[in-house]
């Protein structure tokens, strides 16, 4: 079983693409879908969810499209994840009141610690960090250096 659903992965890729082009203005859903290899119809649905969550803004018209609503460094990936699939839970037992044995369960205590670490990590990773690692210029630089070795 995947913890991150396929649609969440696609939404993260779309959001990271927007982060990498934050200075370029709005990008159309068609461009996002094509560049991130997501079907256009699915990209439209995912962008609507990100818009409803307040993570992206949209402009209508021929030059319209989507852009992040905040700086990429101010958007944690957990926000994108929760906008698409809700909170990531390792087990229902970490929810308050979900289990009558919560107070004295050793398993729940350890799962709770892991949940806290995962939540903390997901709050610490930003779209800016991911965009920095996938910049097109970096890929071009690698291609150029491979070309010189021939």
Contact 57, 91 (CB under 8 A): no
CA distances from 62 to 16, 49, 59, 136 (A): 23, 22, 9, 25
User: Does the pLDDT of residue 140 top 50, yes or no?
Assistant: no
**Rounded Cα gap, residues 10 and 115, in angstroms:** 23
Residue 126 binned pLDDT confidence (cut-offs 50, 70, 90): very high
Q: Are 43 and 12 in contact (CB under 8 A)?
A: no
pLDDT digits (tens, 9 = 90+) for 28-61: 999 999 999 999 999 999 999 999 999 999 988 8
**pLDDT of 142 strictly over 50:** no
Q: Model confidence over 61-71: pLDDT tens digits?
A: 877 899 999 99
| Domains observed in the chain | 6-87+126-136 (1.10.10.10)
- pLDDT of 133 reads 82
């Amino acid at each position: 079983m995947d913890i991150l659903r396929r649609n969440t992965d696609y939404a993260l890729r779309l959001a990271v693409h927007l982060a990498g082009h934050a200075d370029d203005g709005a990008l159309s859903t068609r461009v996002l879908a094509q560049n991130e290899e997501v079907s256009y119809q699915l990209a439209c649905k995912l962008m609507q969810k990100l818009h409803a969550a307040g993570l992206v803004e949209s402009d209508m018209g021929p030059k319209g499209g989507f852009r992040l609503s905040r700086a990429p460094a101010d958007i944690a990936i957990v926000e994108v994840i929760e906008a698409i699939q809700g909170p990531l839970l390792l087990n229902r037992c970490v929810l308050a009141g979900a289990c009558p044995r919560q107070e004295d369960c050793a398993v729940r205590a350890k799962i709770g610690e892991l949940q806290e670490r995962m939540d903390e990590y997901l709050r610490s990773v930003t779209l800016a960090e991911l965009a920095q690692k996938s910049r097109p210029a970096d890929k071009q630089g690698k291609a150029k250096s491979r070309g010189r070795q021939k």
